[in-house]
């Protein structure tokens, strides 16, 4: 991997990617560490306002030509990038393991989604550019045309770093915008720098994509330039609603458009006619992929009482078989949590529930940052992990029996989030009918809450955010221009 090939075999020293070149003018760096053992992965450039100014200027300068580029030309670039992603599969798996603690299963999921989305996006340049409208004025031609916004600035997260970074900048770029991204300081390579290498090799024009990295605690200076610069027309943030509120207030002052992909509480209903084995499989994957550190992980399962014990036994057996450890081992499914704060959060919530009388089915133990996948039952309603007031970003699942499916459907929505939900049932018509009463951006019948496809729109309602991925992102990343052309003499009142 070029970016990780350090001098003399040591850890790499990475730069920002600005205007098509690798640069680190300040010379300051910060360590990027392996969450498993704190091993040094790289020394990354610590940028600030100055680098953000340069990156935004480069993106603004590249915008007119990129916006005007023929769809077929952009298509060739996206398709080339998709092939590079596929070719670099093994290096990407290794990168995501050592920088983000991702298992092979999760990395492969992200790589597949990323190249699929690049191939989808390659065609979006050919989507209709607008509509021809009816006018009441004789002889008038009226139309709306979609045009790109300009520079879109993105904050990319550490968790599903590789795929979510593509989602943050590729969607705007596919509709003719240029971009600057600020990756999370916890995974700057898999959340942005590796993408710069890929786009550079694919031949994307200089300035169309820029990356500025920063040391922990120094995000605000870069963000300030995104808010202040008139060239930046939209901020695309993927992360927690806590940070989104800070950024949203700032965006309000700057009157800047935001697209937000935030957290979720993601309930699963297992109805009394469900296939228990299928439900066990879907919930194990949905709750514990990437050790529960994805916005779409399932957090709570409501199971018909008649199936409850069989479901919990089956789930415990399957979850206990998941191998925990160093994710560079291809057999490992559960790698480390991202940092000590994450371990403290989940552990405090498990203890809180147990102190209140919950039953521990499995898990509840930590070995360093390796937290065993944890299932709780009989959780009292006031325990933090079950209230839906805040997602627990880790491998913790609450299971609860229900007697009345309608009451369970209502209870499952008693949360401020509205990202994903799923219903497991043997009756697809019943599942479809109930699904339409979920107040979430996504609902799956007979699939996990975590079931992404590049072509399908992901996004939330309520505190889970605004905006959608897939080609629907055209709504978020373009403006409409209304144009009229009149041919006959005008009639005016004065």
Nearer to ligand ADP, 240 or 328 (CB): 240
Of 166, 167, 202, 239, the closest CA to residue 81 belongs to 202
According to the binding rule CB under 6 A, does residue 223 interact with ligand ADP?
yes
How many angstroms separate the CA atoms of 155 and 225, rounded? 13
Stretch that binds ligand ADP, among 11-19, 79-87, 240-248, 457-465 (CB under 6 A): 240-248
* Minimum CB–partner distance for residue 493 and ligand ADP (Å): 52
DSSP state letters, 432-472: HHHHTT--SSEEEESS-S----TTSPP--EETTEE---GGG
* Minimum CB–partner distance for residue 117 and ligand ADP (Å): 21
* Minimum CB–partner distance for residue 185 and ligand ADP (Å): 5
Stretch that binds ligand ADP, among 236-244, 346-354, 358-366, 470-478 (CB under 6 A): 236-244
Taking a C-beta distance cutoff of 8 angstroms, is the pair 122, 79 a contact?
Answer: yes
Site string for ligand ADP, 265-284 (x = CB under 6 A): --------------------
Tell me if residue 234 is catalytic. no
CA geometry: angle 218, 223, 227, nearest 5 deg: 155
Long-range CB contacts (within 8 A, 24+) of 407-411: 408/269, 408/302, 409/269, 409/434, 409/437, 409/438, 411/302
According to the binding rule CB under 6 A, does residue 485 interact with ligand ADP?
no
Q: In what order do the strands lie in the sheet with 12-13?
A: 12-13, 40-45, 29-33
Structure tokens at 366: 């930590």
* Minimum CB–partner distance for residue 239 and ligand ADP (Å): 3
Nearer to ligand ADP, 87 or 242 (CB): 242
* Minimum CB–partner distance for residue 36 and ligand ADP (Å): 18
Nearer to ligand ADP, 389 or 456 (CB): 389
Tell me if residue 261 is catalytic. yes
According to the binding rule CB under 6 A, does residue 254 interact with ligand ADP?
no
According to the binding rule CB under 6 A, does residue 235 interact with ligand ADP?
no
Q: Is 373 helix (H, G, I), strand (E, B) or coil?
A: coil
Specify the DSSP element, H or E, that contains 423. strand 420-424
Nearer to ligand ADP, 220 or 432 (CB): 220
Structure tokens at 146: 């979609």
* Minimum CB–partner distance for residue 98 and ligand ADP (Å): 19
Nearer to ligand ADP, 157 or 267 (CB): 157
Within 13 A of 132's CA, how many CA atoms are on the CB side?
Answer: 3
Site string for ligand ADP, 376-415 (x = CB under 6 A): ----------------------------------------
- State the catalytic residue, choosing from 185, 200, 225, 261: 261
Structure tokens at 8: 């003399």
Question: What is the helix, strand, coil percentage profile of the chain, to 5?
Answer: 40, 20, 35
* Minimum CB–partner distance for residue 164 and ligand ADP (Å): 10
Site string for ligand ADP, 166-205 (x = CB under 6 A): ------------------xx--------------------
Of 236, 238, 200, the closest CA to residue 88 belongs to 200
For 246, residues 6+ apart whose C-beta sits below 8 A from its C-beta are none
According to the binding rule CB under 6 A, does residue 225 interact with ligand ADP?
no
Stretch that binds ligand ADP, among 62-70, 104-112, 243-251, 288-296 (CB under 6 A): 243-251
Nearer to ligand ADP, 218 or 352 (CB): 218
- State the catalytic residue, choosing from 43, 200, 295, 385: 295
CA distances from 360 to 318, 365, 398 (A): 16, 11, 10
Figure out which of the listed residues 47, 154, 239, 448 binds ligand ADP, where binding follows CB under 6 A: 239
According to the binding rule CB under 6 A, does residue 240 interact with ligand ADP?
yes
Figure out which of the listed residues 106, 155, 169, 371 binds ligand ADP, where binding follows CB under 6 A: 155
Nearer to ligand ADP, 164 or 270 (CB): 164
* Minimum CB–partner distance for residue 155 and ligand ADP (Å): 5
Structure tokens at 295: 């916005």
According to the binding rule CB under 6 A, does residue 243 interact with ligand ADP?
yes
* Minimum CB–partner distance for residue 488 and ligand ADP (Å): 54
DSSP state letters, 288-325: HGGGG-STT---EEEEEHHHHHHHHHHHHHHHHTS-BS
For 427, residues 6+ apart whose C-beta sits below 8 A from its C-beta are 271, 273
Residues making contact with ligand ADP (CB under 6 A): 155, 157, 184-185, 219-220, 223, 239-240, 242-243, 246-247
Give catalytic residue positions: 261, 295
């Amino acid at each position: 991997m070029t970016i990780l090939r350090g001098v003399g075999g040591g850890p790499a020293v990475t730069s920002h990617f600005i205007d098509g070149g690798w640069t680190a003018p300040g010379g300051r760096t910060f360590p990027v560490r392996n969450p498993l053992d704190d091993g040094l992965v790289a020394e990354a450039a610590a940028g600030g306002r100055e680098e953000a100014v340069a990156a935004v200027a480069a993106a603004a300068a590249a915008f007119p030509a990129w916006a005007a580029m023929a769809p077929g030309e952009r298509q060739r670039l996206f398709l080339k990038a998709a092939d590079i992603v596929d070719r670099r599969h093994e290096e990407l798996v290794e990168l995501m393991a050592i920088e983000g603690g991702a298992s092979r299963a999760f990395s492969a999921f992200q790589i597949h989604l990323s190249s699929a989305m690049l191939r989808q996006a390659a065609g979006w340049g050919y989507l209709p550019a607008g509509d021809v409208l009816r006018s009441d004025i004789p002889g008038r031609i009226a139309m709306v045309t979609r045009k790109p916004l300009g520079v879109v600035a993105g904050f990319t997260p550490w968790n599903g770093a590789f795929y979510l970074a593509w989602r943050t900048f590729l969607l705007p770029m596919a509709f003719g915008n240029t971009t600057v991204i600020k990756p999370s300081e916890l995974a700057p390579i898999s959340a942005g720098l590796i993408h710069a290498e890929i786009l550079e090799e694919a031949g994307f024009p200089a300035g169309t994509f820029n990356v500025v990295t920063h040391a922990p605690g120094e995000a605000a200076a870069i963000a300030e330039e995104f808010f202040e610069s008139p060239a930046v027309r939209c901020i695309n943030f993927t992360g927690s609603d806590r940070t989104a509120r800070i950024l949203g207030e700032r965006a309000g002052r700057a009157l800047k458009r935001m697209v937000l992909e935030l957290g979720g509480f993601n309930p699963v209903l297992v109805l009394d006619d469900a296939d228990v084995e299928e439900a066990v499989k879907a919930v194990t994957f949905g709750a514990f992929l990437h050790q529960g550190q994805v916005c779409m992980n399932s957090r709570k399962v409501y199971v018909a009482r008649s199936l409850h014990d069989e479901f919990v036994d089956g789930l415990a057996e399957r979850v206990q078989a998941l191998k925990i450890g160093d994710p560079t081992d291809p057999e490992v499914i559960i790698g480390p949590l991202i940092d000590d704060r994450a371990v403290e959060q989940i552990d405090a919530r498990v203890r809180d529930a147990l102190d209140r009388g919950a039953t521990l089915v499995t898990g509840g133990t930590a070995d360093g940052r390796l937290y065993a996948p944890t299932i709780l039952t009989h959780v009292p309603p006031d325990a933090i992990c079950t209230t839906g007031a805040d997602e627990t970003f880790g491998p913790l699942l609450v299971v609860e029996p229900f007697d009345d499916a309608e009451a369970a459907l209502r209870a499952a929505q008693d949360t401020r989030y509205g990202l994903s939900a799923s219903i497991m049932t043997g009756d697809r018509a019943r599942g479809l009918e109930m699904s339409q009463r979920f107040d979430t951006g996504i609902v799956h019948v007979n699939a996990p809450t975590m079931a992404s496809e590049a072509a399908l729109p992901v996004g939330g309602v309520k505190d889970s955010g605004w905006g959608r991925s897939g080609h629907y992102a055209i709504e978020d990343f373009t403006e409409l221009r209304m144009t009229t052309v009149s041919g006959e003499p005008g009639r005016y009142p004065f």
